[in-house]
A and B are shown apart, each in its own frame.
Chain A
Amino acid sequence: MTTQFQEIIAKNQSRLSTRRKFTNAFMLSVTGLLTVLALIPLFWIIGYVFYKGGSYLNVSFFTQLPRPLGVEGGGVLHAIEGTIILSLLASIFAIPPGVMAAFYASRYPNTPIGITLRFSTDVLSGVPSIVIGLFVYVIMVKPMGHYSGLAGGVAMGILMLPTIIRTTEEMLKLVPGALREGSLALGAAEWKTSLSVIFPAALNGIMTGFLLAIARAAGETAPLLFTALGNERYDVGSIIRNGIAQKQSIFMILGRIVDQPVDSLPLTLWKYAQQPYPERIQQSWTVALVLLIVILTINILTRLWVEARRRSLQG
């Protein structure tokens, strides 16, 4: 009797476990396949952009302004300069308040202001970039009466702010408490401790955070559509040369650089891609290639750097 039961139980168990084993193996391999599926677009995009854009890439693409349609050659110097100017402006606007807010968030996370700060950082990072563009249009472009690089820089700065606050806060929190205590015990004031002990200790990580934030913001188009607008004849070199020739002060020259519409690489890409001319579309692939190279380089280098530092700290 007992042996019969045991046989039945054994048989059922093995049948059940075959089904369960199958489900297990099947679902686990599905997760692996989904991972591969999600990464296909990445390689597809990068590969295709390199293939399409690479053929047009040459030195004049980086050193010349656009030429009229039908004229051979020409480049996107205006957009490259514009992207650099906009990124600089955005960094100037976003980094100081971002770092200060991060100091507050890491030092006093549980005060009412700290909690509100974290919450508003989260909300700000969720606001669509086009809405930020509208906002900056309303507060800057409308009162000033014209589109400008300054407004574009502010829009990009607002976009960068949450990223900067978050990464800086993370890095500041990683600094060992003993450093702070040691500095305070030596009689240094709180601000002195923060600026000359804690900040330098976290600086490497903070810099990578800045770079990643800038790389992200430099690829954005939507906030620039009605702030920086775009300007095919933007040329920092000639503004500076004219300024020097007319003996203008450096502030005048800087003012003229940021006070007019400015182009950027993603903005140029968007405009060119919408035109029906094969030439322009070809150029938009090349712009995409330049953008991708810049952004991928920043991303990969910073990550390698972070990883190397993590290893060296652990080892």
Chain B
Amino acid sequence: MIKQIKTLPQGHWRKRLDETIRHGDIPWQIILIAASILVMILVISIGMMLWNESGDARNMFGWRFLTPTSDASWDPVNDHFEAWPFIYGTLLTSLASIVMAVPISLGIAIFMSELCPEWLRLPLNWLVELLAAIPSVVYGLWGIFIFLPVVVTPVGNFLFETIGKIPLIGALFAGPMPESGVSRLGAAFILTIMIVPTITAVTRDVLLSIPNSQREASLALGATKWESIWQVLLPYGNSGILGAVILGLGRALGETMAVTMVIGNSIEGTLSLLRPGYTMASIIANEFAEAVSKLHSQALIEVGLVLFFMTLLLNIVARFLVWRVARRIPTEARG
């Protein structure tokens, strides 16, 4: 028996409604678009809210808040704030960690994409990703009690004895190194460990997406494996790798907890890597909850605003670079 399907008569309001909303597709699309726009609104409102909430501090200190000075003061008692020591601390620790992390990450990425046997690739990938999964506070805890005294203090003392004696560059390695190892160098080391997974993952993807014809051509011309990696593959993927490095830099700039725990949190007018310092993220973490005066909390929000713009800029540049590589790579990429 064929079941009669009930149809609504022509012109019935429900039928007309169904047709105007295309059987539910129009509300569906509106929901999707709303969710997509929400993400955009979030990003814009983060910037706007921080901008609005730091108004007084911006008016009061102007560009002096950001410009390099040797006698910057951060004085909650007298309500005078200049953020240069934190900006310097952030830049110094991040750049130092990038200098250490880039060779290591490149090495791992090359090993994973070009050298290691197929069966090892997946476990290695997991292990590197686990390194990224460990919470920042656990890095910090391990850093204060184990890593700093065992590794950073000896390395710092060694740097102080050797490079610290050279004029000019020596200012960066002026001591004395604190016995506990609490220093910008310690922060840079911890940051290195934390950003290696980020840089490695993107670099590995860039290397894996280079077409095999590049490798074959270079090997056929008589290049050794290393020569083909160094002279063909790395230049081929250079802007993608640069993008990876910038992404790592962005992560290093914003990293808060581990750095706060190992950097020593002191405002000294020193340039040295071997002394305790502060970063922008760590001053916010340390002082914001206890900021009593309005200007103090506004100044801290302004520090956050600067951090937001820095990472925004870095992300735009990095995405642009990675996107340029992705677009150039033809369809015959390796799996």
Report which A residues bind B (CB closer than 8 A): 20-21, 23-24, 27-28, 30-35, 37-39, 41-42, 44-46, 48-49, 96-98, 100-101, 103-105, 107, 113-114, 116-117, 119-124, 126-132, 134-135, 137-139, 158, 161-162, 165, 189-192, 194, 215-216, 219-222, 225-226, 229, 266, 269-270, 273-274, 281, 284-285, 288, 291-292, 295-296, 299-300, 303, 307
Given the known interface contacts A24-B225, A101-B38, A221-B137, the answer about A34 and B142 at a Cβ–Cβ threshold of 8 Å is: no
Contact in complex: A225, B281 (CB < 8 Å): no
Contact in complex: A269, B141 (CB < 8 Å): yes
Within 8 Å CB of A32, what residues of B? 111, 115
Contact in complex: B137, A31 (CB < 8 Å): no
Q: Fill in one digit per residue for B16-55: 1 if any A CB lies within 8 Å of its CB, else 0.
A: 0000001111011101111111111011011001100100
Contact in complex: B32, A45 (CB < 8 Å): no
* Highest count of chain A CB atoms <10 Å: which of B45, B129, B247, B284: B284
Given the known interface contacts A42-B131, A130-B284, A191-B28, the answer about A222 and B227 at a Cβ–Cβ threshold of 8 Å is: no
Contact in complex: A135, B46 (CB < 8 Å): yes
* Shortest distance from the beta carbon of B188 to any chain A beta carbon, whole Å: 14
Contact in complex: A161, B39 (CB < 8 Å): yes
Contact in complex: A120, B135 (CB < 8 Å): no
Stretch at the interface among B102-110, B163-171, B210-218: B102-110
Q: Provide the bound-state CA to CA distance between A107 and B28, in Å.
A: 12
* Shortest distance from the beta carbon of A122 to any chain B beta carbon, whole Å: 5
Chain A binding site: helix, strand, loop or mixed by DSSP?
Answer: helix
Q: Provide the bound-state CA to CA distance between A226 and B256, in Å.
A: 13
Contact in complex: B289, A49 (CB < 8 Å): no
Q: Provide the bound-state CA to CA distance between A73 and B10, in Å.
A: 76
Q: Provide the bound-state CA to CA distance between A42 and B126, in Å.
A: 12
Contact in complex: A131, B307 (CB < 8 Å): yes
Q: Provide the bound-state CA to CA distance between A77 and B225, in Å.
A: 56
Contact in complex: B136, A216 (CB < 8 Å): no
In this complex, what residue of A is CB-closest to B193?
Answer: A41
A-B contact pairs, 5 of them (CB 8 A): A124-B39, A126-B311, A161-B39, A226-B289, A273-B144
Q: Provide the bound-state CA to CA distance between A307 and B121, in Å.
A: 13
Q: Fill in one digit per residue for B195-218: 1 if any A CB lies within 8 Å of its CB, else 0.
A: 010001000000000000000000
Contact in complex: A38, B46 (CB < 8 Å): no
Within 8 Å CB of B251, what residues of A? 126
* Residues of B within 8 A of A (CB-CB), count: 88
Within 8 Å CB of A165, what residues of B? 39
Contact in complex: A192, B24 (CB < 8 Å): yes
- Of the candidates B22, B131, B256, B311, which one forms a contact with A189 in the assembled complex, judged by CB atoms under 8 Å apart? B22
Within 8 Å CB of A273, what residues of B? 137, 140-141, 144, 261
Q: Provide the bound-state CA to CA distance between A46 and B142, in Å.
A: 10
- Of the candidates B134, B285, B304, which one forms a contact with A45 in the assembled complex, judged by CB atoms under 8 Å apart? B134
Given the known interface contacts A31-B110, A130-B304, A222-B136, the answer about A190 and B127 at a Cβ–Cβ threshold of 8 Å is: no
Q: Is B77 an interface residue (CB 8 A)?
A: no
Q: Provide the bound-state CA to CA distance between A288 and B138, in Å.
A: 6
Q: Is B162 an interface residue (CB 8 A)?
A: no
Q: Provide the bound-state CA to CA distance between A132 and B45, in Å.
A: 11
Contact in complex: B256, A34 (CB < 8 Å): no
Q: Provide the bound-state CA to CA distance between A262 and B308, in Å.
A: 26
- Of the candidates B45, B141, B315, which one forms a contact with A122 in the assembled complex, judged by CB atoms under 8 Å apart? B315
Q: Which 3 A-B pairs have the closest CB atoms?
A: A128-B254, A219-B135, A34-B107
Q: Is B292 an interface residue (CB 8 A)?
A: no
Q: Is B329 an interface residue (CB 8 A)?
A: no
Contact in complex: B256, A128 (CB < 8 Å): yes
Sample of 10 more A-B contacts, CB < 8 Å, known A105-B36, A288-B141: A49-B142, A97-B39, A100-B34, A116-B40, A126-B312, A131-B50, A134-B301, A194-B28, A221-B136, A222-B281
Contact in complex: A222, B285 (CB < 8 Å): yes
Q: Fill in one digit per residue for B217-233: 1 if any A CB lies within 8 Å of its CB, else 0.
A: 00000001111001000
